Amino acid sequence: MAESSWHNELSEAQADEVGAVLAAAERVDGVAPVGEHVRLRMRPGARGSAHLLARVDGVVVGYAHLDLLGDSAGNQVAELVVHPEHRKQGVGTEVGTAVVAKSAPLRVWAHGNHPGAAALAGKLGFRNVRELRRMRRSLDGELPSAPLPEGVRLRAFVPGQDEAGVVFVNHRAFSWHPEQGAMSIEDVHHKEAEDWFDPKGFLLAVDDQGTLLGFHWTKVHEQAEPLGEVYVVGVDPDAQGGGLGKALTVAGLRYLQEQGLREVMLYVESDNAAAVRVYTRLGFTLWDSDVQYGR
């Protein structure tokens, strides 16, 4: 059996231990076992989380992150991982049982919906309650034409100036979303400190008075073959319906293409039929899915 302990925050040494487990799992599974926000919460001094470390012979072999702040529906949200060399030895069941005992109501993400995660979810009495699709397309060749609405222009994000405006539009655009609608100015600042942050790839759509109408925040994943991402596209509800969302999306794709990237991906809720339809028409196809389980 593994020895497990909960922590309100991780030390640098503990974060490094967990990081090694995450890296090993990603190499084997082909998908990151936890989301970006979990890695940010692993930093010393981060708040709002509970971290479970499972050790065998003093070595971390399993990890669970519990988001105590939860989603907009009041659910606490967990993500967990077991080192590939210690799977099918009961560690996952121990970690999952400990998470269930600590929180309620609870949702649990399975990134890539790994068969082992699905089996563990069923064993613990969970069912599939949400699917987040990952879609991708090539950036080789000509991109679709999508002109901006009349009176709208694009400019780059300016750090120290545009955070509040982006958060305001984001909240209005994603008021329905369990996580995205809660993005704060502090969250934006944290992401500005990340190595991948590129203000030139953070495109803002403004009107003649300079009012922010929408944005396309792009991201580049540095790997053997760099991969672009449609990180967030948000349009103020008052500016929707005139083609601004499509124009922003294509503008971001063009920016990533100009940086020499050959592939781009994005996440979209499976039940957001309108968005799935738009992205499909823009040439995106299904790559894989992240599944959220609940009881």
Mean pLDDT of 212-223: 96
Q: What is the pLDDT of residues 219-231, one digit of tens each?
A: 999 988 999 999 9
188 is in an annotated binding site: no
Is pLDDT above 90 for 295?
no
Q: Is 240 annotated as a binding residue?
A: yes
- The answer to whether the annotation marks 277 as part of a ligand binding site is yes
Q: What is the mean pLDDT of residues 11-35?
A: 96
In this predicted structure, what is the pLDDT of residue 29? 93
- pLDDT at position 71: 87
Consult the annotation and say whether 27 binds a ligand: no
User: Does 272 carry a binding-site annotation?
Assistant: yes
Q: Which CATH class is domain 136-294?
A: alpha beta
For the chain, how far is it from start to end, CA to CA, in angstroms? 26
Confidence grade of residue 156 (pLDDT, cut at 50, 70, 90): very high
| pLDDT of amino acid 73 | 83
Q: For residue 103, what pLDDT is reported?
A: 86
Q: Which two tokens stand for residue 249?
A: 């999306």
Of 109-118, 147-156, 242-251, 258-267, the range with the lowest mean pLDDT is 109-118
Strand partners, 62: 54, 82
User: Is 273 assigned to a binding site?
Assistant: yes
CA distances from 48 to 10, 43, 66, 95, 293 (A): 12, 12, 9, 19, 21
- Specify the pTM: 0.83
Residue 236 neighbours by CB distance under 10 Å: 19
Is 252 annotated for ligand binding? no
- Confirm or deny that 228 is annotated as ligand binding: no
**pLDDT value at 178 more than 80:** no
Which helix (H) or strand (E) segment holds residue 267: the answer is: strand 263-269
The pLDDT value given to residue 70: 87
Query: Does the annotation list 235 as a binding residue?
Result: yes
215-148-133 Cα angle (round to 5): 50
Q: Is the pLDDT of residue 176 over 90?
A: no
Q: Is 88 annotated as a binding residue?
A: yes
> Is pLDDT of 84 > 90?
yes
- What pLDDT is recorded for position 16? 97
Residue 210 assigned to a binding site = no
Q: Is 275 annotated as a binding residue?
A: yes
CA distance 163 to 128: 35
Q: Identify the pLDDT of residue 177.
A: 81
227 strand-pairing partners:
221
Question: Of the spans 37-46, 58-67, 183-192, 274-283, which averages the highest pLDDT?
Answer: 58-67
Consult the annotation and say whether 241 binds a ligand. yes
What is the rounded CA–CA span in Å between residue 108 and residue 289?
14
209 is in an annotated binding site: no
Coil/strand/helix, residue 178? coil
Edge-first strand order for the sheet with 153-156 is 3-7, 49-56, 59-67, 76-82, 106-110, 285-294, 127-138, 263-269, 227-235, 212-221, 202-206, 153-156
pLDDT level of residue 154 (50, 70, 90 thresholds): very high
Q: 36-81, pLDDT tens digit by residue? A: 999 999 998 888 999 999 999 999 999 999 999 888 888 999 999 9
Domain boundaries, the chain: 3-125, 136-294
Q: What percent of the chain has pLDDT above 70? A: 100
Please indicate if the annotation marks 15 as binding a ligand: no
Cα separation values, 40 from 18, 24, 222, 262, Å: 13, 19, 17, 28
- The answer on whether 219 is annotated among ligand-binding residues is yes
| CATH code at 3-125 | 3.40.630.30
230 among the known binding-site residues?
A: no
Q: What is the predicted pLDDT for the residue at 45?
A: 85
Determine contact, residues 84/28, Cβ cutoff 8 Å.
Answer: yes
Which amino acid would we find at residue 2?
Answer: A
Q: Does 136-294 match 3-125 at the fold level? A: yes
22 φ/ψ angles, rounded to the nearest 5 degrees? -60, -45
**Buried b or exposed e, range 167-203, using 16+ CB within 10 angstroms:** bebbbebbeebbebbbbeeeebebbeeeeebbeebbb
- pLDDT of res. 126: 95
Establish whether 234 is an annotated binding residue.
yes
